[in-house]
Amino acid sequence: MRFVYVMDPISRVIPHKDTTFAFQRAAQARGHVALHCEPKDLYVLEGKAFARCRPLRVSEDLPYFDFGDYEDHRLADIDAVFIRKDPPFDQAYLYATLVLENVRGETLIVNDPRGLRDANEKLYAMHFPELTPKTLVTSDRDRIFAFVKDVGGKGVIKPLDGAGGSGVMMLRQDDTNARSIVDTLTGEGSRIAMVQEFLPLVTKGDKRVLLLEGKILGAINRVPRKDDIRSNIHVGGSVEPTEVTPRERQIVATIAPRLLRDGLFFVGLDVIGERLTEVNVTSPTGIQELSHHLGRDVAADVIAWAETKATGFEKR
Ligand SMILES: Nc1ncnc2c1ncn2[C@@H]1O[C@H](COP(=O)(O)OP(=O)(O)O)[C@@H](O)[C@H]1O
Ligand SMILES: [Mg+2]
């Protein structure tokens, strides 16, 4: 099969950490062709979507990547498209999802472009308030201070378009920086931001539960440094093996139908103290760490799934 990966430039890829690399390695081992492009390389000609891309071979050792020459491919002829561009969700990303609408129903797209547009990673969890910590989304600074007081004087504030822990800050009622933090995150009351009750259990970790078509692939736990609340690997969180608890299985069972309806196949839930905080859909990661803990390549499961799923599309 031929798989197109719409992603960042290859210089951004960390071979022994990134989930996209694991997908490409597993797919290559199963005999598939990888075609690499960036969002800007997608185009539409006379109503048909194409990608200008390069065949890519990956290897375990330096230089890790070997590109062939540029080729133009009609996306309807491709078996699957993996959208693996890291956040932020910017205008180039938006246009990429709209171009991909052109091949809806003709090619497997992971994740569904409409689902990607609809699902802000932080706001999506708000469809399930019974599963999340107490949360407020607003630009109103007074409302934020009242909320923090309400939840016991300690909260966490986050930008809606952040990722990797960027801009996530502790918000304490008695902190003389609190007003400045809220001004910064809300653009002085002009932008909505998310405020949550502080979950003390975060010191035990933020669990990443990886899902494939609504089913659990496995989970890893990310424990923050002693001097930070953020557990993200990107900012120094450490990864440890973990199990999925019965309560976390309930969380998955509750949101899985919605994920399936939205075509969100490969998803990473963030769960702190058995409360859902985030639904990562744009380019969730964690497969290499999970594979390491389980002692087998979980990326191969995802590729095997894609092989089967891809055969269900009508090629015009
Ligand atoms: N309500 C909360 N209580 C305590 N810590 C939190 C809370 N929300 C987030 N955090 C910490 O901040 C980190 C980043 O927050 P998250 O919402 O996952 O945003 P990001 O998209 O940046 O990963 C989490 O991994 C966790 O360590
Ligand atoms: Mg997160």
Active site residue 208: yes
Kind and range of the H or E run holding 177: none
Task: Give tens-digit pLDDT for 48-94.
Answer: 999 999 999 999 999 999 999 999 999 999 999 999 999 889 999 99
CA 87 – ligand 2 centroid, Å: 12
Dihedral-angle region of residue 18 (phi above 0 means left; psi in -120 to 50 means alpha; beta otherwise): beta
Active site residue 143: no
Secondary structure letter of residue 151 according to DSSP: T
pLDDT at 17 exceeding the cut of 60: yes
First to last CA, the chain: 17
pLDDT bin (cut points 50, 70, 90) of residue 145 is very high
**pLDDT, averaged across the chain:** 97
Pocket lining: 133 vs ligand 1, CB cutoff 6 Å: yes
Active site residue 71: no
Query: CB neighbours (10 Å) of residue 72?
Result: 11
What does pTM read for this prediction? 0.96
Pocket lining: 239 vs ligand 1, CB cutoff 6 Å: no
The CA dihedral of 299, 302, 308, 309, to the nearest 10 degrees, is -150
Query: CB neighbours (10 Å) of residue 279?
Result: 26
pLDDT at 278 exceeding the cut of 80: yes
What's the pLDDT score for residue 244?
98
Q: Which of 25, 84, 222, 275 is catalytic?
A: 222
CA 224 – ligand 1 centroid, Å: 10
Active site residue 52: no
Find the ligand nearest to 156 CA.
1
Cis geometry, peptide bond prior to residue 111 (ω within 30 degrees of 0): yes
What's the pLDDT score for residue 98?
97
Kind and range of the H or E run holding 2: strand 2-7
Better-scored residue on pLDDT, 233 or 5: 5
Pocket lining: 229 vs ligand 1, CB cutoff 6 Å: yes
CA distance 197 to 154: 7
Cα–Cα separations (whole angstroms), residue 101 to 6, 57, 104, 105, 190 = 14, 28, 5, 9, 32
Query: Which residue matches tokens 């960036």?
Result: 38
What's the pLDDT score for residue 312?
87
pLDDT mean over 240-255: 98
Residue whose CA is closest, atom 14 of ligand 1? 165
Q: What percent of the chain has pLDDT over 70?
A: 99
pLDDT at 113 exceeding the cut of 70: yes
Q: Are 51 and 2 in contact, with CB atoms under 8 Å apart? A: no
pLDDT at 316 exceeding the cut of 60: no
* Half-sphere exposure of residue 4: CA atoms within 13 angstroms, side-chain side: 30
Query: CB neighbours (10 Å) of residue 260?
Result: 13
Task: Give tens-digit pLDDT for 206-226.
Answer: 999 999 999 999 999 999 999
CA 12 – ligand 2 centroid, Å: 20
Kind and range of the H or E run holding 236: none
Q: Are 141 and 189 in contact, with CB atoms under 8 Å apart? A: yes
CA distance 65 to 112: 27
* Half-sphere exposure of residue 145: CA atoms within 13 angstroms, side-chain side: 14
Active site residue 177: no
